Amino acid sequence: MAATLSESELLNSNKLPPCPAIVVGLIQALQQTDTTISDIARFISADASLTMRLLKVVNSAYYGLARKVNSVDEAAFRLGLKEVWALAVSLKLSEMHTKAQTSWGSDKEDLWQHALKVGLLAKQIARERRSGKPDELFTAGVLHDMGKLAFLCHYTDKYRALTNKGVLIGPALESEEQKALTLSHSQLGAQMMRRWELPDVLVKMVERHHQPMVHGSFDAAAGTLCAADALIHAAQMQSAEGLVRLEFKDTLLTKEVAQGLNLSAPDCVRMTTDALKGYAELEGLFK
C-alpha cells in the first residue's frame, strides 16, 4: 500500500470528487442574513437537472402535498427555505457519492443509502424530541460519513478490509482508523466540511456523531445523529406487520444517548420503521 497521506494531502487530492459548485453556492447563500426564499429558488433553478430532480421529490408520496408544485419558488414557499435547501444539497451530494462509487460490495449497502436513511431518521428524532432543528439534522445525516467517502477514494481495498466491508462501525472503527490512517472518519469529514465552509453547527454534529458527550454534558444534536446512525445500523429486517427488528451488535447507542433523548425500545422501533418507509419512497428519486 502507498504511504499514508496526511490530512492536508487527503483533503487536497484529486482522487476525492470535488464538492459540487452549486452546493458551495447554496451554503454561502444560506449564511447571508438577507437571503430570501426567492434567492435560494433562483439559485437552484439555474441548474435545470437539479430543478427537475427536486420537483420530482417534492411531488412524491413522501411529502404528500395536496396540489402539485411546478416551480422551485413554490416548493420553497410550501416547504420552507431550509427544507428545500437541505433537499437540494442532498440531491447534489448523492451525485458525488455516485461518482466516487462508494460501494462496500454486493453484500452491503453503499454509503449514500446509509446516509440518506440516517438523515431521515435524525430528522424524525429531532422533530419528536426537539433535540435540534430537523432540517439541520437531515443535512448532517447525509453528510455524517463523508470521511469514509474520502478514505474509500484513497485507500479503496485497504479501507474495505479495515472496515470488513462496512461491518466494523462506530468507535471501534474510529480506533482502527486512528491506528492505520492517523485520523478518524468523523475528524476527516468535519475537516472536509470546514473546507466547504458549512455552518459550524453541522460540522460539530458530524465531528461528534460517535462522541456526543462533551466535557460531561450531552450534546443533544450530536446525540440525535448518533442515535439515528445506531438505529439504522441495527435495523436488520421487517416483520410481517412491517415493523423493523433492531439487532444491536455494537455499543453505538449508549445508555447516555438513549436517556438523553428519552428513547424507549418501542420508540426506537416505531421511528426507525417510519424512517425506512420514507426511505423506500425517496431512494429511487435520488438516483
Q: What CATH number did the domain enclosing 215 receive?
A: 1.10.3210.10
Quote the cell numbers at residue 217: 454534558
More confidently predicted of 6 and 262: 262
- Total domains in the chain come to 1
Gyration radius from the chain CA atoms: 18
pLDDT of residue 1: 43
Residue 51 above 90 pLDDT? Answer: yes
Query: Could you tell me if residue 239 is inside a domain?
Result: yes
pLDDT of residue 74: 93
Q: How far is CA 87 from the centre of its chain?
A: 11
Query: Could you tell me if residue 148 is inside a domain?
Result: yes
Tell me the pLDDT tens digit for each residue of 116-159: 999 999 999 999 999 999 999 999 999 999 999 888 888 888 88
Q: Is the C-alpha dihedral spanning 250, 148, 186, 26 positive or negative?
A: negative
For residue 110, the one-letter residue type is D
Query: Could you tell me if residue 4 is inside a domain?
Result: no
Residue 54, domain extent: 11-286
Query: Could you tell me if residue 42 is inside a domain?
Result: yes
Query: Could you tell me if residue 184 is inside a domain?
Result: yes
Query: Could you tell me if residue 193 is inside a domain?
Result: yes
CA atoms within 13 A on the CB side of 221: 20
Quote the cell numbers at residue 57: 421529490
Give the count of beta carbons closer than 10 Å to the beta carbon of residue 258: 17
Query: Could you tell me if residue 231 is inside a domain?
Result: yes
Query: Could you tell me if residue 1 is inside a domain?
Result: no
pTM of the model: 0.89
